[in-house]
Structure 1
């Protein structure tokens, strides 16, 4: 903190936003985006594992018309096998379970055009998953590959518990598949119950035990199916409560007043 304060005295272009307490990594990014006023914004961690030397490559891509340029990790130095395996599995699972194209092997290190940042600032989410939000808004996106360096000093402030929370935030923010799991399990049990009853009839072993097993599986399947149906309604309520824009327009042409960016939110729709 003192070093940054001293640097501000020498270079007034430097800015510092000091939280009253630790509100978490994703909210720190959100706060940084709200205080940034440039035509392009670069998000990166302060530990310098993401090398600043990649930024000029991002700027070059941005100048060629890309509105989001994210860093893609070709190699990660100094990471444990568990961290590498769990990160690889998480990114691919998230890509499979969501309806948006979240690039694999990427973090929050990226350059974003002002038009993208302005849309992100409208998504006032309490548990943001920024890399998912950036993919959700769309725009023209590309990547720059780099080697993530080993931490030179200090220790990571991102333990396993925080990584699990980030993973759950990503899944629950952009996928309703966890709510549908109960329905799939219920349908499976319901189908098994009828197959079991049919098998008992064919083999001539229909008895009280067969009926008890059938009843348990059948009613368990129906209960899980009912929970899944309720979960779908809860999922719709959850999605609506986030107040995300209904759509994002990158540009318009042929109108008298050519709007470069316009979003239409659920809140505006109710007015």
Structure 2
């Protein structure tokens, strides 16, 4: 294969990263300048409210290899990356953060693994940063343990959104119409030949992480609910358990009734509430399975809205 004809696209999603964009571009440009490939940058402005988009647009005016799309509002990093996948036409896409925590100097290694091992996807595994807080370390470990336990996925701890995907895997992801986008799960679910590479994350160049606790929780919830209905099944099991346990009150009710040590009407009300509460959970759990499946299948709202772009619609695949 003539490698000089291969097109590699560096995809990054940016939200309020005005102080990182230029440095990311310059550092990455330096890392890929000697590669025997046609390389492009693709920025997705995820509804930034600072000067991020102005910086991206300025780069695009100076460098024709810089492409971008800009959302009408903030839709989230996972959706922004999915939008980039939908728009890009390349032999391989390398997804990475623009805060330089994903080292640009590892790009040649990702490509080398892709070429030599003949795989479709090269994942990266983040080695644990000793400077991370105890809570972040534990929450990450718990997330992967819980996700692997209650879903059909088996993700390795430390798996990051720093990866290479080839054209075939990209096309499969383009065809996905899911609204709750969880790329780590989707990458594992689609299969294909995959390889992995460990890396040590660098410190963020500027600014603070945009992944608040609520956003991390939402991402974890999307990962669980997008690939499993076991939580809904759990509601059914819980309902049966509570309904069964409610019958354990019966001996106590009979004892209280016989010896007269009860408030009038208390025992019957308690038993009724416990039983029907469990019964309601059973019914809601069963309905939830069906409604959840229908909801996932029939959501038709657009995943994102593009306000501005500098790519030709005819160039998309």
Is TM > 0.5 for Structure 1 vs Structure 2? yes
**Separation (CA, whole Å) in 2 of partners of 1:131 and 1:93:** 15
1:195 CA drift (Å)? 3.3
**Separation (CA, whole Å) in 2 of partners of 1:22 and 1:116:** 26
2:128–2:158 Cα contact (<8 Å) kept = no
Task: Summarize deviations over 1:25-55 as a string: whole Å, max 9, x none.
Answer: 1121012112221111111111110112222
Give yes or no for the alignment of 1:49 onto 2:106. Answer: no
Indicate the residue corresponding to 1:194 in structure 2.
247
1:76–1:150 Cα contact (<8 Å) kept = no
Q: Once structures 1 and 2 are overlaid, which stretch shifts more, 119-128 or 18-27?
A: 18-27
**Separation (CA, whole Å) in 2 of partners of 1:35 and 1:223:** 46
TM-score for the superposition, normalised by structure 1: 0.78
1:205 alignment partner, one of 255, 263, 270: 255
Indicate the residue corresponding to 1:264 in structure 2.
none
Number of residue pairs matched by the alignment? 240
Give yes or no for the alignment of 1:182 onto 2:241. Answer: no
2:91–2:167 Cα contact (<8 Å) kept = yes
Unaligned segments of structure 1, at least 5 residues: 244-271
Unaligned segments of structure 2, at least 5 residues: 1-52, 258-264, 301-317
Indicate the residue corresponding to 1:117 in structure 2.
170
Matches within 5 A, 1:55-134: 55-63=107-115, 64-76=117-129, 78-134=131-187
1:75–1:146 Cα contact (<8 Å) kept = no
Indicate the residue corresponding to 1:171 in structure 2.
224
1:222 CA drift (Å)? 1.3
2:64 alignment partner, one of 5, 8, 12: 12
Q: Once structures 1 and 2 are overlaid, which stretch shifts more, 96-105 or 107-116?
A: 96-105
Q: Once structures 1 and 2 are overlaid, which stretch shifts more, 188-197 or 219-228?
A: 188-197
1:77–1:149 Cα contact (<8 Å) kept = no
**Separation (CA, whole Å) in 1 of partners of 2:148 and 2:89:** 31
Q: Give secondary structure in 2 for the equivalent of 1:155.
A: coil
1:239 CA drift (Å)? 3.9
1:223 alignment partner, one of 263, 269, 280: 280
1:232 alignment partner, one of 289, 293, 317: 289
**Separation (CA, whole Å) in 2 of partners of 1:239 and 1:157:** 27
TM-score for the superposition, normalised by structure 2: 0.68
Q: Give secondary structure in 1 for the equivalent of 2:71.
A: coil
2:178–2:296 Cα contact (<8 Å) kept = no
1:5 CA drift (Å)? 4.3
Task: Summarize deviations over 1:197-225 as a string: whole Å, max 9, x none.
Answer: 3x449xx7263765554333222221111
**Separation (CA, whole Å) in 1 of partners of 2:62 and 2:292:** 51
**Separation (CA, whole Å) in 2 of partners of 1:9 and 1:220:** 63
1:130 CA drift (Å)? 1.6
Task: Summarize deviations over 1:46-97 as a string: whole Å, max 9, x none.
Answer: 1110112222232222221221111101123653332222222112211211
* Distance verdict in 2 for CA 1:148–1:195, change over 3 Å: same
2:147–2:153 Cα contact (<8 Å) kept = no
